[in-house]
Chain A
Amino acid sequence: MTIDQYKTVSILLVEDDDVDAMGVERALNKMKLANPFLRARDGIEGLEMLRAKPADHPYLVLLDLNMPRMSGIEMLKIIREDPLLTRTIVFVLTTSDDDIDKVAAYNEHIAGYVVKTKLDTDFGELMQLLDHYWRLVEMPTDE
């Protein structure tokens, strides 16, 4: 059963910093998580990838906020307005611990807000959280 779920939940990391992206990937490998992993470098690329997904594979999005071209908050607003994407589970993963950013992100119904600098130097803790999350939490299904 767990194997099935790993297959059905893909991780989309929207992050402009290569080192952070490598960090997430490294943590996934370290935990030996087999979920499909995709990375976009900004909001526009992220939206393209979300819209191109096969219908039976829900994404779990890890979203940075400060990015070129389209910021995380802008991308979130578009996701929530789009009827096909609106149920997407989004975790914000950012360096900003500004209250303004937090409020703006939660206003777009994110699943959680994680400040990178509060994590250890690797993303181990975060991957553990996500591992538990998709074990216990039911994913939205397509109608």
Chain B
Amino acid sequence: MDIATNSPAINATNTSLKMPPYFLYTVLAICFIPYLLTLMGVNLASSSKPVDLQQLAGLAEHQQLDLYFARLSGAFTHTILEWTAFCIAIMTVFLAASHYFISKNLTTLIIGAALFLAGCMDAFHTLAADRLIEAVADNRDLVPFTWAICRVFNALILIGGVMLLLSRSGDITGKADFKVLGLSFIGTAVVAYGIISYCALSDSLPQTQFPDNIITRPYDVVPLVLYLVSGLFLFPYFYRRNPSVFAHALVIAMIPEVMVEMHMAFGSTALFDQHFNIAHFLKIFAYAVPFLGLLMDYIHTYQQKQSEVEARERTQQALNKYTVELERSNKELNDFAYVASHDLKAPLRGIMQLASWIEDDIKDDIKDQTREYIALMHSRTRRLEQLLNDLLAFSRVGRKHGDFKTIGLAATVTDLYQLLNPPLGFSLHCDIKLSAITTLFVPLEQVLRNLINNAIKHHPNDTGTLRVTAITTDTGYEFAVTDDGAGILPEHHERIFGIFQTLKPRDEVEGSGMGLAIIKKLLDTYHCRITVESDGIKGTTMRFTWPSEPTLRMLTDDH
């Protein structure tokens, strides 16, 4: 039942470990639309009209300010686009952390942290470009150069994160070492800031823009190659190794990344031109795609956990129901056995009495045949009484445990044997090296007595030897009662522990067939095992385990 309800859920998870197709199409569309717009003649460049200083002098202060703003529109656009990407990186790292706490999947945590670090470096780059951190380098060199460094850093840290995950040989779930993770995170952030700061304070940055070449910004070729390799080989390989919605989104994110670098490497010739703006715009999507993937993965993981919880609850409920039912039916069975044997005894006693009165009243002129019938009637009613008594004893097994007592095992076994009045030809070899043990005396004595009694009662000869051994084991003790009687055929080894099972007609060997059933139930109460060793030709060994004192105390506390 549970398997049937679970399997569709498993299929569903397999097919939904990808971003939906329309997501991919949307990303592709967004990547190409700006370029198509430029082909259609739309100008996406920021205005770069120089401010006329002479005109400026004749204007009011607020009008001057407006002109400065207009002059700075490229820088503002640059800042807004960069900062939007950075904001997504911030959201990504928080979502990644919460995703990790419900899924324990390190992919999101590590890649999320990597994206955030890349975002931080972009932010430093923007701050330097806007002169909000100290900078002396010419912006025409500083912006493209630190941009290229940021892109390389972005690509490398993503690749590093994926490699780190791949090095965990398939096991990407587990407890993150937050100390190491946190330290390397802070370390990388400091290094990123250091690099940007160094570049900003340098007055000898290399030339980065070559407007006349095909490759206008050669430094951007490096990240382009890195993203191509990642998108075509490394990330798809990682996705196949560790399929998840987020890993799939990571692959898709390489499309905007490559487009960004194409615009930069082959298009942009000056700061804030239209390829520059398109590249910065598409970079937002390079951050947004993994973020959306993470979001979908989060929802997916949450739903999966939810359905797991529901399935577990259903199983638990079913289990509880079965337990209650089982307890009830066990109790009913016990009550039935008790009441039945109890109430059946009263009329039986009546029959026995009446038979003996009849015998009494007619004893002077009774026929031999009648005398025999009455004797048989007595024996049968006595047998029925014995059956009922044993059934009653069986139903009572495990109700009472008695007290703990310290006993000498060898002496106990010898006493038991003597009390059973064995025939003269019988002898007992008690091979017990154990000194005194503390245990529940009553049940152990009952098991030993029944086994010794069986060995004597079912022995075919007038002479016989019994051997009783006891050893300590890891979990307690092991007892064995061995006789040299007729043995029990292996095919009977199982059934002799059933209730009312005898291997000989009751007229031959008087017995209810409950002895071993009572032993079995008693030993089951204490989680012990009993085994029969016999080839059915000569001799039987009944071997049973018995718990140590602490185990017994634990078991009886439960009841």
Please list the residues of chain A having a beta carbon within 8 angstroms of any beta carbon in chain B. Answer: 17-20, 22-23, 26, 66, 95-96, 116-117, 121-122
Contact = CB atoms under 8 A, between A and B. Distances in A.
Q: Is the interface of B mostly helix, strand, loop or mixed?
A: helix
B345 A20 contact: no
B529 interface: no
Nearest to B361: A26
A26 B385 contact: no
A19 B342 CA distance: 17
Interface of B: 342, 345-346, 349-350, 352-357, 385
Contact of A117 (B355, B356, B357, B385): B385
Contacts of A116: 349
Given A117-B385, A121-B356, A122-B356, A17 B342 contact: no
Contacts of B345: 95, 117
9 contacts: A17-B350, A19-B350, A19-B354, A20-B349, A20-B350, A22-B357, A96-B342, A117-B345, A117-B349
B342 A122 contact: no
Which of B342, B349, B352, B355 gathers the greatest number of chain A CB atoms within 10 Å?
Answer: B349
A31 to B, nearest CB: 14
A18 B346 CA distance: 11
B357 A26 contact: yes
Q: Is the interface of A mostly helix, strand, loop or mixed?
A: helix
Contacts of B352: 121
Nearest to A99: B400
Contacts of B350: 17-20
A26 B358 CA distance: 12
Contacts of B354: 19
Contacts of B353: 19-20, 22-23, 121-122
A20 B357 CA distance: 12
8 tightest A-B CB contacts, nearest first: A19-B350, A121-B356, A23-B353, A121-B353, A95-B346, A95-B345, A121-B352, A19-B353
A95 B356 CA distance: 18
Contacts of B349: 19-20, 95, 116-117
A17 B346 contact: yes
A52 B352 CA distance: 35
Contacts of B346: 17, 66, 95
A22 to B, nearest CB: 8
Contacts of A19: 349-350, 353-354
A143 B352 CA distance: 44
Contacts of A117: 345, 349, 385
Given A19-B349, A20-B353, A117-B349, 9 more contacts: A17-B346, A17-B350, A19-B350, A22-B353, A22-B357, A95-B345, A95-B346, A117-B385, A121-B353
A122 B352 CA distance: 9
A17 B354 CA distance: 12
A96 B392 CA distance: 11
B349 to A, nearest CB: 6
B179 to A, nearest CB: 64
Nearest to A30: B360
B389 to A, nearest CB: 8
A55 B524 CA distance: 59
A29 B354 CA distance: 16
A96 B342 CA distance: 7
Nearest to A64: B346
A20 B345 CA distance: 12
B356 to A, nearest CB: 4
Nearest to B360: A122
Contacts of A23: 353, 357
Contacts of A121: 352-353, 355-356
Which of A18, A20, A23, A121 gathers the greatest number of chain B CB atoms within 10 Å?
Answer: A121
A66 B343 CA distance: 9
B350 to A, nearest CB: 4
B455 to A, nearest CB: 28
A47 to B, nearest CB: 22
Contacts of B342: 95-96
A20 B351 CA distance: 10
A70 to B, nearest CB: 17
Nearest to B351: A19
A30 to B, nearest CB: 9
A23 to B, nearest CB: 5
A34 to B, nearest CB: 21
B499 to A, nearest CB: 21
Contacts of A66: 346
A26 B359 CA distance: 14
A81 B352 CA distance: 38
A95 B352 CA distance: 14
Nearest to A19: B350
A36 to B, nearest CB: 23
B401 to A, nearest CB: 14
A18 B342 CA distance: 18
Contacts of A20: 349-350, 353
A64 B235 CA distance: 88
B359 to A, nearest CB: 9
A44 B356 CA distance: 31
Contacts of A26: 357
A17 B350 CA distance: 8
A117 B354 CA distance: 14
B390 to A, nearest CB: 14
